[in-house]
Structure 1
């Protein structure tokens, strides 16, 4: 039923039990019709046997009777049944009748006993009445046995069942119509909700406000919560786009201004100075664009690469080797400390490399003279320490936001720690910012630790 619509699924679930109930009612009607026909014709057998028993006399030292025509006519119906009767004395000897009929065991109460018998290949309904002669001189027992074929009672049972069948069919049809209409009306609020969602402007994220039943109202509230989250995401994206455009427009405008100024000069030394400035601005702009692309890719929920085993020791050593020459030219002492054994975590290698590169670059840009990358085990941790000016405790949550700089004197873009925070959340890591050397408040340094949940 997974491919069926909700309306068809509901109607099937309602109509199947209804059909089962109708079948049970028809079966009960069939047995009830048979029982009613048996009771009606058994009463006829009772009346016919009583009429015959009243005509039994003692005549010429034996039982005798003068059978009235009415006794058998009451058993005759339009079905043209065959009717048989017989009179037996107390010893079970046949006295008179139009056919010998079998005996039946006496009933626990009453004077009549009934049974379906087969006589000469003919199915008969047999009734046996036990009676006695009541007179001043004799009191002899006898049996009157009356039987007839079953065409009449079968026809009556069929007529009764047909009447019941018509009634049940009519009731079932009405019930089916009621079920279909009820299912349609019951699902009408869901139809209204579907139409309200379909007719909405794709650009709007306003909450839904239509009245719905309690079960669907919970769905409406869930949709409104989703729309609220989407509004917050869109607001963040718009703010991010505005900040990014501002951050990119400023260095590009500076590049244009420096180029225009250089074109007005004729001294090659001034051209060289302008080219140096333009090169530095272009490098900063390229780094900013790269960080913007990284942050956008990290915040995209559709781009969630699978985690693989990553050795933090090898990762830290590659990052230090890659940046050692650049840091050495700046006069920054870059080192690495790793344990003897490998520290493996489930992660995305390029994301951790991006995070570590941003941490190292931030440390160099904000005046650190010594930067140390450490890998610790139990639990797995990746730590970057420097001896720079550090970040005040009141600013440590703010610097995780895009384009927020901890210090105005630095030349960073304000995206490095935001990228690190996104990578930490993608890996379920705990990001901790603390002072490296609290004993020197003028240059406390900064210690950033990524604590992984478990080893791979």
Structure 2
């Protein structure tokens, strides 16, 4: 996979592209303005030339006559060595004199009085700027109409255009240089908070999960808050892990020490019966320890704030049957009557099947371990409800909240570890179900009720 490019480079590209486009537009506009200025300047010279020629036109020998002064055309001559053409025509369009027969005004006859018309023409392969002046002789007895036509090649205009453009290019280049420098500084300044954030994260101790305290712009402040939320979740996970380690070390220390003591005592005996008794006790202790470890893992997984399994629609009748089937052999071996009461129609609720099976399994196992002889698993509709009822010693009303705490036992004795009801409570909270502890039938035993918040469609 190709690594992503630099954010700094990406910003420069996306900012320089429109800047370059703007620079190109400025160059085109500068060229057009320079050409327009050059045309305007030379058009003034062209106007002066036509006026100077028109002032020298006279009437002699019954015809128009022109004595052209050199200055009339020299004003159009520059170092660019352009060529100048002129012609004099009478009112009827007849050529009188000149160094070229230039085309006339395409607009046709104009009104009396002086008029001046400019146009660009292609004449005999030459690109000319032509000026046409229509006027009359200024004589009290004769007002003969005539037309002065002057054509001027564009070399001088192009030289002036390039000269003006070079001046504009220096100005545009200076502006572009300043703009690029400002752009580089602006991008670097805009990315400086991101650099500070990166350095702050890199400099942190990997074991530190404290929130980041760094002043940042609003856009990066959102990233900082997101990182702080991630750190907060990691703190909760680590706290959950540390709590599990503490609970496990505390709860497993005693049975493991007991196993070691039993084994050491058995090694000192020579009687096979003593060895048999020690192995039997060690087997019971190891089974209890294994169950304790499993319950600790279950409790830790349920209390993990970041582990939220997706709830799906399931039939509580199926969950109850699976839990009863899993506990049947153990209860039957201990002489316990394990039964189930379910309606004929499905009882649908949103949940996680393995968690609910584990909750029912813990309730059945608690009842078995604390002396129940009859255990009934029951499902009820409207609202969906799971119940486990036994005929055991029950739990006093003043201790029913305390037994939901981890490692709290309702009474001394029994094989329980004090985690079964705590796990059931965690599963109930995961399913947003209400957990209730009540007396069984005839005031005997215990009835544990898991009431779900209705059938979720």
- Shared fold by TM > 0.5? yes
Closer/same/farther in 2, CA of residues 303 and 435 from structure 1, 3 Å limit: closer
SS of the aligned residue for 2:324 comes to helix
**2:244 aligned with 1:243, yes or no?**
no
Match of 1:206 among 189, 196, 210: 210
Contact residue 292 and residue 417 of structure 2 kept, 8 A:
yes
Q: How does 1:6-405 map to 2 (within 5 A)?
A: 6-104=7-105, 105=107, 111-264=115-268, 272-296=276-300, 312-342=316-346, 349-376=353-380, 381-388=385-392, 389-390=394-395, 392=397, 396=401, 402-405=406-409
CA distance in 2, matches of 1:341, 1:444: 27
Q: Which moved more, 1:203-212 or 1:144-153?
A: 203-212
Higher mean C-alpha displacement, 42-51 vs 112-121: 112-121
What per-residue deviation string (whole Å, max 9, x for no partner) do you get for residues 411-435 of structure 1?
A: 322333444455566xx62232113
Structure 1 window deviating more from structure 2 (29-38 vs 373-382): it is: 373-382
Q: TM-score, normalised by structure 2?
A: 0.85
Distance in 2, matches of 1:155 and 1:383, equals 102
Which segments of 5 or more consecutive residues in structure 1 lack a partner in the other structure?
A: none
Please give the alpha-carbon distance, in whole angstroms, between the structure 2 residues aligned to 1:257 and 1:62: 147
Asked whether the equivalents of residues 436 and 444 of structure 1 are also in contact (C-alpha less than 8 Å), the reply is yes
Distance change >3 Å, CA 136–CA 174, structure 1 → 2: same
| Secondary structure, counterpart of 1:176 in structure 2 | helix
Could you tell me how far 1:305 is from its partner in structure 2?
7.9
> How many Å apart are 1:309 and its aligned residue?
7.5
Match of 1:372, SS state, is strand
Change (3 A) 1:301 1:445: closer
Could you tell me which residue of structure 1 aligns to residue 431 of structure 2?
429
Q: CA deviation at 1:14?
A: 1.8
- How far did 1:64 drift? 1.4
Please state how far the C-alpha of 1:167 moved relative to its aligned partner. 2.6
Aligned partner of residue 148 in structure 2, secondary structure: strand
1:290-328 CA-to-partner distances (Å, cap 9, x unmatched) read 223444556678988888876543342232123123213
Secondary structure of 1:430's aligned partner? coil
After superposition, the C-alpha distances for 1:245-294 in whole angstroms (9 at most, x for unaligned) are: 11111111122233344455566665554444332212100111222344
What CA distance in whole angstroms lies between the structure 2 residues aligned with 1:189 and 1:107? 73
Once the two structures are TM-superposed, the CA of residue 16 in structure 1 deviates from its matched residue by: 2.0
- CA distance in 2 between counterparts of 1:182 and 1:287 reads 64
Q: Give yes or no for contact 1:240–1:402 (8 Å, CA) kept in 2.
A: no
The Cα shift of 1:32 comes to 1.1
Q: Secondary structure at the match of 2:433?
A: strand
**Bigger mean CA offset, 366-375 vs 299-308:** 299-308
Is contact 1:386–1:447 with CA below 8 Å preserved after alignment? no
Q: What corresponds to 2:449 in structure 1?
A: 447
**Deviation at 1:342?**
4.7
CA distance in 1, matches of 2:398, 2:219: 47
SS of the aligned residue for 1:208 comes to: coil
Range with bigger deviation, 134-143 or 345-354: 345-354
Q: CA RMSD in A?
A: 3.5
Q: 3-state DSSP class of the match of 1:37? A: helix
CA distance, structure 1, for counterparts of residue 49 and residue 76 of structure 2: 7
Q: TM-score, normalised on structure 1?
A: 0.85
Q: Distance in 2 between matches of 1:13 and 1:435?
A: 66
1:263 and 1:414, CA in 2 relative to 1: closer, same or farther beyond 3 A?
Answer: same
Q: Distance in 1 between matches of 2:69 and 2:432?
A: 111
Compared CA separation, residues 232 and 101, structure 1 to 2 (3 A)? same
Give the 3-state SS of the residue equivalent to 1:115 in structure 2: strand
Distance 1:9 1:340 in 2: 66
Distance change in 2, residues 1:314/1:214 (3 Å): closer
Separation of aligned partners in 2, 1:307 and 1:422: 15
The 1:450–1:54 alpha-carbon spacing in structure 2 relative to 1, beyond 3 Å, is: same
From the superposition, tell whether residues 110 and 368 of structure 1 become closer, same or farther in structure 2 (CA, over 3 Å): farther
How many aligned residue pairs are there?
452
Contact 1:125 1:148 in 2 (8 A): yes
Q: In 1, Cα distance between the equivalents of 2:445 and 2:376?
A: 16
Judged with a 3 Å threshold, the aligned counterparts in structure 2 of structure 1 residues 25 and 385 are, in CA distance, closer, same or farther, namely farther
